[in-house]
Amino acid sequence: MTAPARLLSLLLLLGPLWATAQATQAPPVAPASPLPRLLAERQVLTRRYAAARAQRNSLFGLSDKPSKKDLQAVVDALQGIVNKDEQIVAVLNQTAQAAQNTAATLQSTSRDDRNVTADRLAEIQNQQLNVQERERRARARQLTLEDDLDAAQQARQRRDWTILGLGLACVGLFAWGRRRGR
């Protein structure tokens, strides 16, 4: 076998496998939720808050109280945490809304499927009743035709017996006429 023939046979063997692999590719993945990133950012802000709260840079270091700058850093860190919490709540609300939309869509689709199934079932039942009615009519027609056939066969049989009887009478008359005419 030549090299081009081998290549062609290999392609013919691998072609269906490649087509199957292309057809079974994974469906597109939904975009990742921003929630883990937001939670990680909140942890960083919480550590900054803890560090800002631990600062004690009062005037000349004589007191163990935080300075105005230290307090402002605490307030800024808390504001960052609050802002991050608002972002997290917004993401959770979006996720909940998406879940509600999905549930509503599934419910609507399920209802539509049930309606289509019920309609199709009613249609099939009507078809079944129509078929049963046609079968009943066909059976009644068949019985009528069988009765007509029996009546026609009996009439033919009577006619055949009458013809046979008349034929025998004719033969008898013919024989009687010949004997008499002799």
φ and ψ at 69, to 5 degrees? -65, -40
pLDDT in the model for residue 69: 84
pLDDT in the model for residue 27: 44
pLDDT in the model for residue 121: 93
pLDDT in the model for residue 26: 47
pLDDT in the model for residue 144: 96
CA dihedral 21, 22, 25, 31 (to 10 degrees): 160
Give whole-number Cα distances, 127 to 117, 134, 137, in Å: 15, 10, 15
Residue type, 178: R
pTM: 0.48
Q: What DSSP string runs through 49-93?
A: HHHHHH----GGG-SSS--HHHHHHHHHHHHHHHHHHHHHHHHHH
CA distance 56 to 64: 6
pLDDT in the model for residue 124: 94
Q: Which residues of the chain have pLDDT under 50?
A: 24, 26-29
pLDDT in the model for residue 20: 53
Q: Element (H or E) spanning 119, and its range?
A: helix 68-180
pLDDT in the model for residue 122: 94
CA distance 15 to 36: 43
